[in-house]
Structures are given as C-alpha cells and as structure tokens.
Structure 1
Amino acid sequence: MGGPGGRRIVVGVSGSLGSLAALHRAAAEARVTGANLWAVLAWEAPGGESVHRGGPCPAAMTAWRRMADERLLSALDEAFGSAGPRVPLKGLVIRGKPGDALLAAADHADDLLVVGAGARGRLRRAMWPSVARYCVARACCPVLAVPPSPLQHALDAVHRRNAWKLPLDARELAD
C-alpha cells in the first residue's frame, strides 16, 4: 500500500500554524498507514490571474514561483527540521487557487486529503472562503480537517492585544 506508487496522503501547506498542524497530522497518518506524503503549496500571482491576463512578465512569474518553492521548503523545515517526516515525501508547488490545487493533487479515491480547519468567525468566512469546506464539498477522496491548536486562540488574543496596543497585565501570564 505504501512506498512508490502506493497510497497517498495529500496535505495543504501554506506555512500557517494551522497548515503546520495539518502537516504533522498527515505525516503521522502516513507513518501509521505506510503511505506517501505529498505536501502541496498553492500559489497565485499577486492580484490574481485576471491582472495578468494579457501575459504576465516571465521574470516576475519565475520570481513568484521561486518564492513559493522557498515557502514550501521553509514550512517543511519548520515542521520537521533536519530529521524530516520519516515517510516518503514529495513536495508540490502548484499555481492556482488552494482548493483547486489540493483537489488536483488528491485525485484518487484511495487518497486522503488533510487540510487545516482554522478557527473562523463570520467576518473571516465572508472575506476569505474556507479551503477546508471547499475541499470537503468537492473531493473524490476522504478529507481530514485538522482543528487548530488550542494555543492558536491564545496567540490570536496576543495579536489582537498588540494590534490595539493594549497593556499587558503580567498576572494574565500566570493563568
């Protein structure tokens, strides 16, 4: 089942904390099942494809592609360090919307697609559609949506506090 040409576990990677949690879960699933791990990072040209309809500048597209490659390598290094995931790993950088790129990579019925299911409020849902929901609704294979780490809520609170320049009460740190 595992090894070259065997079952695949496809995971969406963006470098966010949610995608790193999904990457760790996907690697654990691959180790248990003997599957190959495919880490997929989707990228789009700044401004979207419609801005570049007349023909994007080749040098700029090459630079953006290289930046996407570097972001995938950085996320993999951050997740696993020099030890790696301890399973066969293939990194893919695909130009396109994240949901479409993940569905194109996880195109076999026996694949498992793993995505981060970040915490989402009403405003965030309205502004940025959920890749996890998109994939669950359209995938031809099982989809595992990994919830955010409990630490994500605390980190978001710190970011809000910093954005609003609110003072920090040291007693809060002891809780």
Structure 2
Amino acid sequence: MPESRTAPVARVVVGVSGSPGSLTALRRAADVARCRGAELWPVLAWEPPGGDLAARRSPAAIVLLPEWERLARERLLRALCAVFGGTDTGVPGQALVARGAPGPALVRIADRPQDVLVVGAGRRGRLHRVLRPSAGRYCLARAGCPVLAVPPSPLQQALATAHRRNTWRLRLDTGRVEREFGTVPPDA
C-alpha cells in the first residue's frame, strides 16, 4: 500500500508581545489566515530577565524559570483576549510560548516555505534601535518565508505623543488630534 503524504498545512505565524503594535499585527495575521485557509500561530517569545546567560549563572533563576514562563503564557492569553474577546481566534491553529529572543524564535518557528510570518513594524528612534534590536528587522532579514510587516495604527503615534507631552507636563493639543481623526470638521 503506497504511503500517502499530505502537504503540510500553511501557517500564519505572528509575533505577539502585548504591545499595541503586536495586537494590530495579531488582528492582521488572523485576517491573512482566514483568506489563505491557513492556521494561525500566535507566538510570544520570552527571555529570563537579564537574558539566558544571566539565568544560567544564577541559582535562583532555576526556581523562577517556571514562573516566568507562566507569566509569558498569561501575557499571550491577555493579548488574545484583547484582540478576539477570548482565547478562540476563530481560525484553526495553536498559540505558543517560546523561550528565546523574539526574532530568532519567530524565524525558527516559521520554518516552512509556505508559512507567512507577520510582525509589527513599530516606529522606533535611533537610540531605541541600538539598545534593543528590532525583532521585525531580524525577521525581515533572515526568514525563509514571506514576512508581512504591519505598520502601527496612527492612533498609536498620537497616544505616544500625548504620553510624552503628559510626562513633560506640556499642554495637550486636543484640537489637532480631533482634526486628524475626524471628530471635528477640518475647518473648525
């Protein structure tokens, strides 16, 4: 009897951190999975505080590793609930928590040519890029499958600006925000 080999199911792998940009990417990934008839694989990658090297050197880290992984699972579940109103995404697939740096973990999981890797492409300043490398840039440079980089919502930039102004105790220009997002007519 000849052995039947079925082609692996296409997957849409999406990096989730709980940030507003990753929630936007998660929603877009679900739409892509529905359109392609693919599975949705939300992935939250985590590392111990200080990285794996620090965790290996600390005896206390061995005791704390299960707790850190539990916290990562909770963060992934909160992200799913924020986007879908619960843990059911409405698309077949599985949610994963992967230990490791986000970029390498996502590239390792999205290892099939028919996969699509979805990442948030947040706006980042030069200093932030130097101190904390972008998982999205890593994935774009190294993934062996198509990568969809989802830009942040325009509201995210407005929120960041308002937060910065609030931190510095500067007056907020609510009129500009209202004009940009359509709550006030442009000629008002």
TM-score, scaled to structure 1: 0.91
2:89 pairs with 1:90: no
Mapped to 2, the partners of 1:62 and 1:83 lie a distance apart of 22
Q: Which of 152, 159, 163 in structure 2 is aligned with 1:159?
A: 163
Q: Which of 130, 139, 145 in structure 1 is aligned with 2:143?
A: 139
TM-score, scaled to structure 2: 0.85
Q: Say whether the 8 Å CA contact 2:116–2:145 is kept in structure 1.
A: yes
What is the CA-CA distance between 1:168 and the residue it aligns to? 3.1
Q: Which of 148, 166, 170 in structure 1 is aligned with 2:152?
A: 148
What is the CA-CA distance between 1:124 and the residue it aligns to? 1.9
What is the CA-CA distance between 1:47 and the residue it aligns to? 1.0
What is the Cα-based RMSD across aligned positions, in Å?
Answer: 1.8
Mapped to 1, the partners of 2:114 and 2:174 lie a distance apart of 51
What is the CA-CA distance between 1:135 and the residue it aligns to? 0.5
- Letter of the structure 2 residue corresponding to residue 37 of structure 1: L
Unaligned regions of 5+ residues in structure 1, if any? none
Mapped to 2, the partners of 1:167 and 1:76 lie a distance apart of 35
Mapped to 2, the partners of 1:150 and 1:102 lie a distance apart of 26
Provide closer, same or farther for how the CA distance between residues 83 and 76 of structure 1 changes in structure 2, counting only shifts above 3 A.
Answer: closer
2:72 pairs with 1:75: no
User: Any idea what SS the aligned residue of 1:79 has?
Assistant: helix
Q: Which residue of 1 aligns with 2:20?
A: 17
Mapped to 1, the partners of 2:87 and 2:75 lie a distance apart of 18
Q: Which of 37, 40, 45 in structure 2 is aligned with 1:37?
A: 40
Provide closer, same or farther for how the CA distance between residues 170 and 79 of structure 1 changes in structure 2, counting only shifts above 3 A.
Answer: closer
What is the CA-CA distance between 1:169 and the residue it aligns to? 4.9
Unaligned regions of 5+ residues in structure 2, if any? 1-6, 180-188
- Letter of the structure 2 residue corresponding to residue 130 of structure 1: S
Mapped to 1, the partners of 2:78 and 2:112 lie a distance apart of 28
- Letter of the structure 1 residue corresponding to residue 104 of structure 2: D
Q: Which residue of 1 aligns with 2:3?
A: none
User: Any idea what SS the aligned residue of 2:40 has?
Assistant: strand
Provide closer, same or farther for how the CA distance between residues 38 and 169 of structure 1 changes in structure 2, counting only shifts above 3 A.
Answer: closer
User: Any idea what SS the aligned residue of 1:82 has?
Assistant: coil
Q: Which residue of 2 aligns with 1:118?
A: 122
- Choose 164-173 or 130-139, whichever is displaced more: 164-173
For residues 75-107 of structure 1, the C-alpha deviation after alignment (integer angstroms, 9 at most, x for no partner) is 001011038321113110011000011011101
For residues 24-45 of structure 1, the C-alpha deviation after alignment (integer angstroms, 9 at most, x for no partner) is 1100001011100000000000
